[in-house]
C-alpha cells in the first residue's frame, strides 16, 4: 500500500530559512552594537583616566617647580625675580638690601599664570590680604560694612569671630561660645587661631553670611595671618578696589605701575597715586613677607589646590614649611586673561596660551 507524504512547498521552506537567517543577523547586529557601545564606553573611561592622570602630573610638576623657584629666588618689592645675581649686586654700600624691581618678577598679587600643560597658578603674598586672626580687625569690619552696612550684623560677625579664636570661653557681647554652638548643633569653637581662611565657615554666622554675599571673594581677600600690617604692592586688584575704594580703571593703572616701579613708602604711594586717603605709616609695608599662598588648578576651573607656606631658607626642616593645604571649587575661567610678562620658569612665555 502506497504511503502518501504531506506536500511541502519549497518556497515555504525557503521563506522560513530566510526569516531565521534575518533574525540571526539581527541578533548578531544587536550583540555587536552592544559590544561596540561597551568598548566605546570603556575606551572613553580610559581616555578620561589618562587625561586626569596627565593633569595631575602637570599640576604636581608645576607645584614642585614653583616651590623650588620660590625657595631659591630673590625677592624685590615687585615680586620674585628670575635674574641670578651675585650678592654684591643687590647689597648697597651700607650693607642694606636693594629692593628695586628688576623687571622680570613673578608678581605675588594673585596674578594668574600658565604652568606646565593645562595647569594655571597664582601666588599671593599674605600681607597683601586682610588678616582674620587679628583681634578687633578694623580692615575686616570695613569689608563687611561695604556689603552689609547693618551695624548689628557687623558687630555680631566680628564678636563671634573673636570668641572663636580667643583662648577663653567667656562670651562677648553679641558673640557666641561653646553653649551657643551646642544649642545649634554646630562643631564647637577651637578657642584658637583659625588654621586657614576656609575655617571661617565654622564660625557661627559666617558661613551663611558669606554664602549670601558671594561677591565677597574670601578666598582671594582673606588670610589666616595674625598681623594686620598690609602690603600695598601685593594687594590683589579686586581687594584694592574694595579696600581703597578705587574704580577698576584706577586699580588697573595702580597694578601696572607697581609692576615696574613698586611703591617704597606711604608717602611715595600717596604722592604718586594722588589718592585723597589717609594712610598710617606703621600700618603698611612695601616689601614682601616670607608667607605665601599658592593656588593651582586646571584650565577651565574645577577643583583648585591651595597651599599656604612660609619660606625658611635657613630652616632646620627645609627651605619651606607648609602651614595648611586644602581644595576648593573654582569656577570656569577659560576667558580669564593671563599675565603677559615673560619668564623661563616653565619654558614658555607667561600668558602664551599655545
pLDDT tens for 85-99 read 766 666 766 666 678
| Three-class HEC string of 128-155 | HCEECCCCCCHHHHHHHHHHCCCHHHHH
Cα distances (angstroms) measured from residue 298 to each of 243, 303, 329, 352: 30, 8, 11, 15
242-279 burial, b at 16+ Cβ within 10 Å, e below that, comes to: bbbebeeeebeebbeebbeebbeebeebeeebeeeeee
Q: Is the dihedral of CA 241, 244, 250, 254 positive or negative?
A: negative
Tell me the pLDDT band of 351, cut-offs 50, 70 and 90: very low
Which of 41-50, 202-211, 327-336 has the largest mean confidence? Answer: 202-211
Full DSSP string of 172-206 = PTT---HHHHHHTT-PPP-SS--SSGGGGGGSTTH
What pLDDT does residue 349 have? 40
Q: Is 79 in contact with 350 (CB distance < 8 Å)? A: no
DSSP code at position 127: G
User: CA 337 to CA 237: how far, in whole Å?
Assistant: 13
Rounded Cα–Cα distance for residues 147 and 210 (Å): 10
Tell me phi and psi for residue 49, to 5 degrees: -65, -40
In DSSP notation, 25-46 reads HHHHHHHHHHHHHHHHHHHHHH
pLDDT tens for each residue of 309-346: 999 988 888 899 999 999 888 866 554 544 433 355 66
Q: Are 117 and 63 in contact (CB under 8 A)?
A: no
Mean pLDDT (whole number) for 40-50: 76
Is residue 20 scored above 60 in pLDDT? yes
- Report whether 71 contacts 313 (CB < 8 A): yes
Task: Note the pLDDT of residue 1.
Answer: 53
Tens digit of each residue's pLDDT (9 = 90 or more) over 92-142: 666 666 788 888 899 999 999 999 998 999 999 999 999 999 987 889 999
The CATH number given to 131-224 is: 1.10.40.60
**Coil/strand/helix, residue 309:** strand
* 242 φ, ψ (degrees, to nearest 5): -80, -45
Domain spans of the chain, in order of start: 131-224
* Higher pLDDT among residues 126 and 52, named by residue: 126
List, in sequence order, every residue forming a beta bridge with 292; answer none if it has no partner. Answer: 125, 309
Q: What angle do CA 73, 75, 76 make, to 5 degrees?
A: 140
- Segment holding 220, helix H or strand E: helix 218-221
Cβ burial of 198 (10 Å; 0-12, 13-18, 19+) is middle
Answer with the residue of higher pLDDT: 335 or 78: 78
Kindly report the number of other CB atoms within 10 A of residue 38's CB atom: 10
Q: Is the pLDDT of residue 350 over 60?
A: no
Mean per-residue pLDDT, 171-177: 91
79-81/74-76 β-pairing: antiparallel
Cβ contact 220:234 at 8 Å = no
Amino acid at each position: 500500500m502506497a504511503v502518501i507524504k504531506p506536500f511541502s512547498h519549497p518556497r515555504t521552506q525557503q521563506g522560513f530559512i530566510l526569516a531565521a537567517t534575518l533574525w540571526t543577523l539581527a541578533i548578531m547586529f544587536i550583540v555587536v552594537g552592544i559590544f561596540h557601545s561597551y568598548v566605546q564606553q570603556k575606551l572613553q573611561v580610559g581616555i578620561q583616566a589618562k587625561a586626569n592622570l596627565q593633569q595631575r602630573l602637570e599640576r604636581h610638576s608645576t607645584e614642585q617647580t614653583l616651590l623650588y623657584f620660590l625657595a631659591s629666588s630673590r625677592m624685590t618689592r615687585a615680586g620674585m625675580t628670575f635674574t641670578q645675581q651675585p650678592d654684591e649686586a643687590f647689597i648697597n654700600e651700607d650693607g642694606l638690601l636693594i629692593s628695586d624691581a628688576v623687571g622680570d618678577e613673578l608678581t605675588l598679587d594673585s596674578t594668574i599664570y600658565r604652568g606646565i600643560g593645562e595647569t594655571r597658578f597664582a601666588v599671593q603674598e599674605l600681607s597683601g590680604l586682610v588678616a582674620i586672626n587679628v583681634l578687633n580687625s578694623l580692615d575686616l569690619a570695613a569689608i563687611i560694612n561695604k556689603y552689609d552696612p547693618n551695624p548689628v550684623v557687623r558687630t555680631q560677625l566680628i564678636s563671634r569671630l573673636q570668641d572663636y579664636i580667643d583662648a577663653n570661653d567667656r562670651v562677648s557681647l553679641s558673640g557666641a561660645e561653646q553653649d551657643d554652638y551646642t544649642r545649634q548643633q554646630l562643631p564647637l569653637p577651637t578657642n584658637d587661631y583659625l588654621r586657614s581662611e576656609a575655617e571661617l565657615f565654622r564660625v557661627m554666622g559666617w558661613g551663611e553670611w558669606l554664602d549670601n554675599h558671594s561677591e565677597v571673594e574670601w578666598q582671594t581677600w582673606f588670610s589666616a595671618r595674625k598681623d594686620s600690617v598690609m602690603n600695598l604692592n601685593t594687594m590683589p586688584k579686586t581687594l584694592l578696589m574694595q579696600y581703597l575704594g578705587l574704580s577698576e580703571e584706577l586699580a588697573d593703572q595702580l597694578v601696572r605701575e607697581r609692576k615696574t616701579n613698586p611703591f617704597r613708602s606711604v608717602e611715595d604711594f600717596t604722592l604718586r597715586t594722588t589718592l585723597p586717603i589717609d594712610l598710617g605709616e606703621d600700618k603698611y609695608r612695601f616689601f614682601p613677607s616670607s608667607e605665601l599662598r599658592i593656588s593651582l588648578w586646571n584650565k577651565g576651573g574645577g577643583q583648585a589646590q591651595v597651599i599656604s607656606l612660609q619660606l625658611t631658607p635657613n630652616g632646620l626642616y627645609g627651605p619651606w614649611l607648609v602651614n595648611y593645604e586644602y581644595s576648593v571649587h573654582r569656577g570656569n575661567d577659560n576667558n580669564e586673561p593671563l599675565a603677559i610678562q615673560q619668564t623661563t620658569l616653565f619654558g614658555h612665555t607667561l600668558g602664551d596660551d599655545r
